[in-house]
Structure 1
């Protein structure tokens, strides 16, 4: 087989030759979002297995919840080559692509900061319940970044976006916090971390132009950066860059997805599924070996964003992708996941749905019976809640509410 670097040169056109979505990536993204909502709802339960939850920062180990966010970062990377190649086919220049990437990153950072401030809000001083703050924030996000139909009345679109922006400014002005007296960046939140990782990985992907050696070198660079950061080898000036980038781990996860996705397109174009599977399994073995080796130095920790966590979670996500790919794209079983499909095609909106659910329950003083918040029944409740969020997302898409950054 020709070497990838002889096929994917700077002058070569993008690998993606048609706009068809890859079912397995959508399904993997949907399943990951369902898991994310599920583990985020575990706080409401009691008497559940400890291995489902997050492991504390100072503990060497990982629970199921610690594997979900890195999987999502990896999938963000998997989507990047498809999205960038598709926009290039439509005529986007590098300048246009960079502008789009920056705009999308700002949107994710904005959402992340508002939701993080909601976590530490002083309800009495702000004059607003946490649930109301979160609902107003999420509603504003939808008004600003909704993918309005092309035939929508222009003034309605402008008023909606203007209203959303105005509400965010008002929320920031009236905010009072438990830790910080005013609206501030405590940390970037899940969406903010995705925003920074997306920014770095997307810029690399744009200028790499599908050259696998360049993309692989970028992944190696961020993995080494992660190790150097944990070994305290980085000069202080590096920490001027946001930690989600300078730490290396987050972007390393996203860049791993970019590399795997680009390799996937190369093999799929030639219908070399078995060869691709063997190569990916070999990569998994290497990643697991790297995780075992680096764990002895810095441990395995999500909250510590250790290199071992980066390598192991990348390996797990690749294995999940391979299984889903053979089941859906090769086996034709994508219809098995129809119910959760909206969580994969409008993931951001699905992520916001729980904020409305929790906010409404608080506002209306609703409480679930204690009997369904314990043990296995409680876990079933949280799983069904995640499925419901995907279903609601699909219904909202149907009536024209669809987030697209």
Structure 2
């Protein structure tokens, strides 16, 4: 992992792991990544604050969408994590594919992919537990960055060593295989196919072999077993990136094709939901199709930036997307609330209740964005 500063023009710069690619090719991907990160750098609190301030049904519904269901079901907030992994996959043909085209051996590229994946796993452990020494039983090893690192790594290994047809087969096999695994197994003492938190086989295996503590005591949403279908999320991104990189199809047709594919995936997910519920905690196969479909729709929309050339509106998000790992990790080591209060507490007090909290939530996001804009202007980006 390095912090890089370069004097090259930004359009030539290679940025933001694990999503390195030539940014001039897909400006939209930086913008979409920034849109994704925007919601977990504090923007969701604006909706929670508005709901508390107004008690209006409209804001209550929106606020609820920025929470996670307790188990089965889907809220918008469930999309943030898999969308990032999908985007990492889309970038693969532009980064890993570029290295292979330049003549690097598959083993050389493999080492870079494995190194990136393991660094992300390490960063995830640090994010969860800090830098202080803890007893093994108190360390949580499962993490968002760890899930991204492992799924990214294995999806890229499949990409390096297989053709596109084989990648499609892998995608289908991972989803169907995971479905069959959970359908015909269970934790000891539970009926076959039990998908409750206590009774499902994936959580049981994590409880049995995963060291340290689990996020929900008996279950970890970033456990080892549910990494299997998450590889499928990364592969879907890779297949999409390969399609976008194809010069034989014009941009408008690509955007339309992605939108149609997205709708089909969501339809399949809703059908599969009757037998294998959409569930982020288990990263079920229906969940992969659902978030994959929504990710395709969003990418189709953002891809119009590259097709039509209207970039100015997306600059706000691009600033975030170019330092996504940095802003995520900063939450563990920078007291952003303290910084926000230092600059804007007077404003919140001036406005007073109930909307002072809404203003402070907006200021919280703007302080983070100002930091990222400073890094952007200095051409300093966190790279893995």
- TM-score between both structures, scaled by the size of structure 2: 0.72
- Give the C-alpha shift of residue 86 in structure 1: 2.0
Matches within 5 A, 1:51-90: 51-58=64-71, 60-90=72-102
Structure 1 unpaired stretches of 5+: 1-16, 119-167, 176-180
Alignment CA distance shift 1:380-1:297 (3 Å): farther
Alignment CA distance shift 1:286-1:200 (3 Å): same
- Indicate yes or no: 2:170 matched with 1:215: no
1:32 to 24, 36, 40: 36
- Give the C-alpha shift of residue 40 in structure 1: 6.5
**Worse overlay, 306-315 or 369-378:** 369-378
1:265 to 211, 225, 245: 245
Partner of 2:129: 117
2:144 to 166, 186, 190: 190
What CA distance in whole angstroms lies between the structure 1 residues aligned with 2:373 and 2:26? 19
Tell me the secondary structure at the aligned position of residue 402 of structure 1.
strand
Give the root-mean-square deviation of aligned CA atoms.
Answer: 3.6
- Give the C-alpha shift of residue 400 in structure 1: 6.1
Alignment CA distance shift 1:190-1:230 (3 Å): same
What CA distance in whole angstroms lies between the structure 1 residues aligned with 2:309 and 2:344? 42
Q: 1:16-61 deviations in whole A, cap 9, x for unaligned?
A: x988431111111111111222366579857263423223333x32
- Indicate yes or no: 2:94 matched with 1:94: no
What CA distance in whole angstroms lies between the structure 2 residues aligned with 1:380 and 1:324? 28
What CA distance in whole angstroms lies between the structure 2 residues aligned with 1:42 and 1:196? 32
**1:42/1:53 contact within 8 Å kept:** no
Alignment CA distance shift 1:259-1:377 (3 Å): farther
What CA distance in whole angstroms lies between the structure 2 residues aligned with 1:306 and 1:357? 34
Partner of 1:293: 271
**2:29/2:299 contact within 8 Å kept:** yes
**1:112/1:192 contact within 8 Å kept:** yes
Partner of 1:225: 177
- Give the C-alpha shift of residue 217 in structure 1: 1.4
- Kindly indicate which of the two structures has a greater share of residues assigned to helix: 1
- TM-score between both structures, scaled by the size of structure 1: 0.69
Partner of 1:252: 232
Q: 1:125-149 deviations in whole A, cap 9, x for unaligned?
A: xxxxxxxxxxxxxxxxxxxxxxxxx
- Give the C-alpha shift of residue 387 in structure 1: 4.4
**Worse overlay, 20-29 or 375-384:** 375-384
